[in-house]
Structure formats: C-alpha cells, structure tokens
Structure 1
Amino acid sequence: MVFEKVFCENCRNDVEYNVIEEQMIGTIKGETYTYTGKVAKCKECKSDIFVNSINDYNLKALYDVYREKNGIISLEKVLGICEKYNISKRPLSLLLGWGEQTYSRYCNGDIPSKQYSDILNKIYESPVFYSEILENNKEKLSSEIAYKKSKKAVDKILEGNLNEESKINMVINYILNRCGDITPLALQKSLYYVQGFYYAFNDKFLFEEDCQAWAHGPVYPEVYFKYKHFKFDPIESKIEVSDTIFTSSELIIIENVVKHFCCYSGKVLEKFTHSEYPWLETRGEIPELESSTEIIKKEYIGKYFKDVKEKYNMINPNDIESYAKKMFDCM
C-alpha cells in the first residue's frame, strides 16, 4: 500500500513510512483500557512519526473498546440508524425529544450516556420500537415529508421481516386456508394459542418468534406488519399448504385451535387473552389502551398453558375445547 509522505522530525524531511499494529493503553474518564492500535514508522530511520489518519484510527479504537466495555452503542450503529430508517440527523433528534444537535454530536464521535445509548441501540435493533416512536412523536417533526419518507422505510423493513419458510409462516398459511374469514386480530390470537397449547402438550414451543403485549392482546409484530393493510377485514391470502409439512403432534394442536378458537371473532379472542396471566403480567401497570412493545416472556406462556392443561384435566389436544368454552362462558 502506498502512503502519502509525511514529515519525519528525525530525518527533517518528508518520508515514506510503514504501519504496524501494536497493543496500546489509553485512559478515558480515569479508567485505563488496552486496545490494538497502529504506529507509523519512518522507512529511513525507523523512528515513530505522527500521521493524522493513524492518530484518528487509534482514538477510535480506544473509544470502541470503551464503548464495548461499558455497554455503549458503537459508532457504526449510531451512523447506521439514519440510513436504515431514511431520516436525517436533526429530525431524528427532534423525534426523540432531544436537542437539535444531540444526535449529530453522537454521529461525530461524542459518546452518549448509557440511557441515550440504550435508546439508540433499541432503535437500531428493533424496527418495531422505532415505528412506535415515529407514530407517537411525528408531530415533533417540522416536515410531513420527513415522516412519510421514514415511515415508508421502516414499513418496508417490517413487512420483509417475516421469513416465508419459518414455522410460524407455515402455520399462518395453514390457518388462512382452513379459515375463510379470519381477520388479522383473530390470526394473532390463534397463533398465540397454537404456541401456548403446543408447549402444554409437547414441552417445547412450535416457533421461535416472540409476541408482545400490545393493547389489544398478544401480537407477533412481524405478522402484524405483513397483514395490517387488511385492518378489520378478513385476510385474502390463500397459499396452498399441505398438512404433510407438519408432524402429527403439530397438526393436531393447530387443528384444535382452528376448530375451537378460530370460530370466535378477533374481539372475543382479545377478551380471552386480556384475562390471562401472560398478557396481564407483562402489561403490569401500563394503562389499558397505552401502546407497548414489551415482550411476553415464553416462560409465562409455557407455565400458564401447562397450568391450564392440568386444571382442565386435558388428556389430549381435543380437550382444548373445554377451555375455549369456559372462556367464552365467562365473558
């Protein structure tokens, strides 16, 4: 690699140089950190020489170690947020209720506090979280265009997050084929009951995706964003799915949920979930209609449906009917 010549104080001349890696020690806020830096050495006299770009590299390497050790978001992620969600620096600061230049300073290398770092990291990692912030705080943006551009970007990400070959998507397609008029709300609750009862009878979960405790009950965010354009109407998506893609233990659970839960409307199923421990425990003190992206822990779901199985003396999945009828009678 050819480097631009720089001045060597020892040779008193502009010289070429070699770059080698070295273990270095730096101090930030009274704490010392070891990091891998670079040193430029004059090709003529072999002495260390100062190179601006290498000095900048070493500072970044030191601060990268500091960020990692202290759980602070990386500069790459900070810079990636604007590109990922198609929003400029100033509008993002306004969206978050920060000073107009706060986010710009972080993009220039300033280290955010742990509190601000956690927010930025969650924004980067969770398009659902960012989408919620965008919707709730859009009035803080000075331009409707900025909102629309960013909304389009995050919606595109969310709509593409559902893996077409995932188990949950296979279950969705099967349910849609078996139920002619299921709405997005009813689909969400059906998936939740498939997940819960599958665990109750098999001691493992059918799909890996987490659901969240939204105001209208458990919701799988990726599924919501894929079908949200149907709103309150039945989903018009029919993809042929053979029952041979499921094991017998999977199929019998799905069939019994279709038979005993999908016969109810989404609003009825929503009321079912509002009386159940996993959703109630996760919501905690959150007001009834307030939005939330809190994940319903799988351990809550597993324990609750195990207890339901025992309480209703369920011998096989056909006995799921007793729980569904009881829930409806208690409304």
Structure 2
Amino acid sequence: MNERIVFCEECRNDVSYTVIEKQMTGTIKDEKYIYMGKEAHCAECGSEVYVDEINDYNLRALYDQYRKKHDIISLDELLKIPEKYAIGKRNLSLLLGWGEQTFSRYCDGDMPTKQYSDTLKQINNDPVYYDVLLEKNKQNLKTAKAYEKSKKAVGALLGAKEHGANKIDLSIEYLLCRCQDITPLALQKALYYVQGFYYAFYKTFLFPEECEAWIHGPVYRDIYYRYRDYRFDSIESSGGCDDSEFSSSEKAVLDSVAKNICCYSGKVLEKFTHSESPWILARGELPENVSYNRTIQKDQIGNYFNAVKEKYNMINPNDIKKYAQTMFQQI
C-alpha cells in the first residue's frame, strides 16, 4: 500500500490514496493484452483518482506484454546496456550506425524494430559480440576517450569469464587465427565440420551447442548474431593463437578443418552441407529458399560423419582432406 496526496474530483479536495493491483486489458495496434496493473483510490470516498506515476506504470506493464509477445527487448534490459559497457547513449547509437538519438528514444519508451531489438539483445547477452562491434566501429565514436572507457569495461567483463570460456568460443578464435580469410558463412560451416569430424574420431562432441538447418546450411544461432555485421567480409581475430586450452586430439581436428575445409569459400561449403544428410533430414520437405530454423539432431551429425570416416578409410584427422576434395569435385 502506498499513500500520497492527489486531487480527488469527487471530494473536490486534496486527499491521500491507496493503491491496489488489478488485472487490466489494453490494446496496442488492434491487439488486446492482459496485464497486471495498478489503480489508485481516494482514501475518503473510494473513487478512482489519477496518479501520474501509476499511469506510467500501467503503460509500461502493457507495453511489456507487447514486447514479450513480439520478442522485443525489455526496457529493463535495454537500460542496462550503457552502464554495462560504460558508454553513453549517443555514442552507443553511433557505434551501431544508427541515428544519434535512436537509442535515447528507446530508453524513453519508443519501441525498437525487431531487427534493432535483436541487435540490442545480442549486445546485452554477449560481451564478445559487443567487443567485436567496438573494434570494428570505434571510428564512429565521438572521442578516443569514449572508446577507451568502453573497451576497459568490456575487457573486465571478458576477463571475468576468461577461465570459464566455453569450447565453441575457443574453437572460433583458434580457427580465426589460423584462417586468414574466413567469413561468417565459412565460420559456421567450419564449426559444423569440427563437430562432425571430432565425433567421428573420438565419439564425443567438442562443444554442446546445437546447430540449426538454415537456408544457407548449418548455423549456430548465437554465433550468427555475433558476427553477422561482417556480412561477406573476413572476420578479424582478436588475439594470438593460444592452443593451451586444447588437447592434442582437439588440435588435430581443428588444424585439419582449418587446412582442408577453410580453404574453401563459405558458398562452396554451403553446397557441401546441402548435399549431406544431417541438413537434408532437418529441413524435411521444406523448399531450400524457405526460412525455417529446425535443429539438426546431434545423432544425425554423429551417424553421418561416422559413415564418412568409414567410407573414406580415415585413420586420423589429416584424412579429412580426402572427403573435402571429393565433395568439391562433385559440386
């Protein structure tokens, strides 16, 4: 319960009021939403009174339901981003290549588009993705000091996670270091082949992440959002080639994929995967040009690459070359 003083039109006087929670219905763009809101009532006569803060609360609760339904970043998540990365609202807009006031408008309650929302979600959830953007677009910031301050903040976040870095991130950096010209499309396929061939030789998967059967082949969703702004450009490596986190068997597969798979372009590797059963089975009857993101089951990946290993009489990961050359000749 909350008590303050407002004007009551029934009592024609300034009065205290009480607040109750109530299920409410609101409409946005001809769609109805049910949400938990608040009502203020005069402590003297019990009639409903208008309170600015409560009206704002109800509008936010209504729009929160809209955001949830349409998978738009919440206002709470959005407001955390500038503090998290120590960057001003205007500089963040400039970093993203948006209008200078765009992010500020979102903080004031304007609704971002789904595309912009996805970008903000990825930034909020993935410091690595933000770090990539910061390096790529640092020239957009107003001052070098703004860059340095934000770089320090994201560095602290990444440093705190350093010892818990997952295998897929370590694999990405390893591949980027050894492949000087790898695009986001090629990286996705390289990760897929690392998974498949590692399982074929060692009967376990290198990392737990699931991949999906997108139009252009197998895709790891979070990795796509991290590097999508590179589009057709090569991804830059963020540091040296540290292989201390990998066992000899892991390095053997990674090195062979880097040498024998990453030598092909992303479009060539896409054609490879379109002729392989894991992607085909996951897509089912869907036409190739229809966007529908079905998970490629790990057992399908394991079964396929086990069969590849046997068919090509592979003794060690260096023999991946046989498969890659055959696939290239067939496309």
TM-score, normalised to structure 1, is 0.65
Within a 5 Å distance, the mapping from 1:70-149 to structure 2 comes to 70-149=70-149
Within a 5 Å distance, the mapping from 1:176-191 to structure 2 comes to 185=177
The residue that corresponds to 1:62 in the other structure is: 62
Between the two proteins, what is the percent identity of the paired residues? 44
* Count of aligned positions: 275
Deviation of 1:154 (Å): 1.9
1:320 and 2:319 aligned: no
Calculate the aligned-residue CA RMSD, in Å.
4.5
Within a 5 Å distance, the mapping from 1:1-331 to structure 2 comes to 1-162=1-162, 164=164, 168=167, 185=177, 195-200=195-200, 205-209=205-209, 212=223, 229=239, 231-232=240-241, 256-257=249-250, 260=252, 270-274=258-262, 280-281=269-270, 299=296, 306-313=303-310, 319-320=315-316, 323=319, 326=322
Separation (CA, whole Å) in 1 of partners of 2:317 and 2:146: 50
Separation (CA, whole Å) in 1 of partners of 2:272 and 2:44: 69
Indicate how the Cα distance of structure 1 residues 208 and 7 shifts in structure 2: closer, same or farther if over 3 A, else same: same
Q: Secondary structure at the match of 1:156?
A: helix
Q: Secondary structure at the match of 2:32?
A: strand
Separation (CA, whole Å) in 2 of partners of 1:22 and 1:55: 13
Indicate how the Cα distance of structure 1 residues 44 and 89 shifts in structure 2: closer, same or farther if over 3 A, else same: same
Separation (CA, whole Å) in 1 of partners of 2:64 and 2:272: 36
Higher Cα radius of gyration: 1
Q: Secondary structure at the match of 1:274?
A: coil
Q: Secondary structure at the match of 2:315?
A: helix
Separation (CA, whole Å) in 2 of partners of 1:150 and 1:283: 41
TM-score, normalised to structure 2, is 0.65
Asked if the contact 1:4–1:16 (Cα under 8 Å) also holds between the matched residues in 2, the reply is yes
Indicate how the Cα distance of structure 1 residues 327 and 314 shifts in structure 2: closer, same or farther if over 3 A, else same: closer
Separation (CA, whole Å) in 2 of partners of 1:46 and 1:108: 33
Structure 1 unaligned runs (5+)?
Answer: 173-181, 216-220, 240-253, 285-296
Asked if the contact 1:94–1:141 (Cα under 8 Å) also holds between the matched residues in 2, the reply is yes
Q: Secondary structure at the match of 1:319?
A: coil
Separation (CA, whole Å) in 1 of partners of 2:324 and 2:25: 66
Deviation of 1:57 (Å): 0.6
Deviation of 1:308 (Å): 4.0
Separation (CA, whole Å) in 2 of partners of 1:313 and 1:278: 26
Separation (CA, whole Å) in 2 of partners of 1:59 and 1:257: 53
Tell me the alpha carbon deviations over residues 214-245 of structure 1, each in whole angstroms, 9 at most, x when there is no partner. Answer: 89xxxxx9xx99xx55x15x66x699xxxxxx
Tell me the alpha carbon deviations over residues 69-127 of structure 1, each in whole angstroms, 9 at most, x when there is no partner. Answer: 22221111111111111110011111122111111011011111222222222222222
